[in-house]
Amino acid sequence: MPTGPMDLFADQANSPTEAMPFSLSPASADDCEAIVRVQFEACAQDPGFSTIFPRGLTPEVVDHYADEYRRDICENSACNTVKVTDTDIGELACFAIWYFLPEKSQEQIGEELRVDDFHLPAQANREVGDVLVGNSVRKRHAIMGEQAYVCESAAGKVHLLRA
């Protein structure tokens, strides 16, 4: 019978610990399709996400976003993508993407705020998606202004961090 909080872990402390079957590594272009699938699985219950993608994860949507992620991983020096692989089954467990974005002028911010087509895939509800993504861009600029920042996305959750 435990007498204090640390006693709850007494059996674990005396037994050998098994290594978790996970591996952290940089993601590659070959991981992009799995990243898209994990992101959609993580965001499936989000009302905005399901409104933008009423048909869910179609092959066209997978191709569209896998191509975008491939371009970012291969060509965008601001993009840093890591993955966690379940080594027991060899599948992607989660991912994180960081964009280290430089300071921007008011002119650059103004250009970004004028964008009203965010190149969503044909299977998406583009009208609603463009409004939601546009609102997100405006909010990000309202919070961050001209300063440099890091935008982190982990399985669909986006966080802004001041540089």
- Arithmetic mean of pLDDT over the chain: 80
Task: Confirm or reject CATH 1.10.3470 for domain 19-162, answering yes or no.
Answer: no
- pLDDT of 112 higher than 90: no
Backbone angles phi, psi at 107, to 5 degrees: -65, -45
User: What average pLDDT score do residues 11-39 get?
Assistant: 81
122: enclosing H helix or E strand: none
The total number of residues written for the chain in this structure? 163
Whole-number pLDDT of residue 113: 67
- pLDDT of 6 higher than 60: no
User: What average pLDDT score do residues 69-83 get?
Assistant: 92
- pLDDT of 3 higher than 90: no
Rounded distance between C-alpha atoms, residue 153 and residue 128, angstroms: 21
Q: With bands split at pLDDT 50, 70 and 90, how would you rate the model's confidence at 34?
A: very high
- pLDDT of 13 higher than 60: no
User: What average pLDDT score do residues 107-117 get?
Assistant: 75
Give me the residue spans of the domains in the chain. 19-162
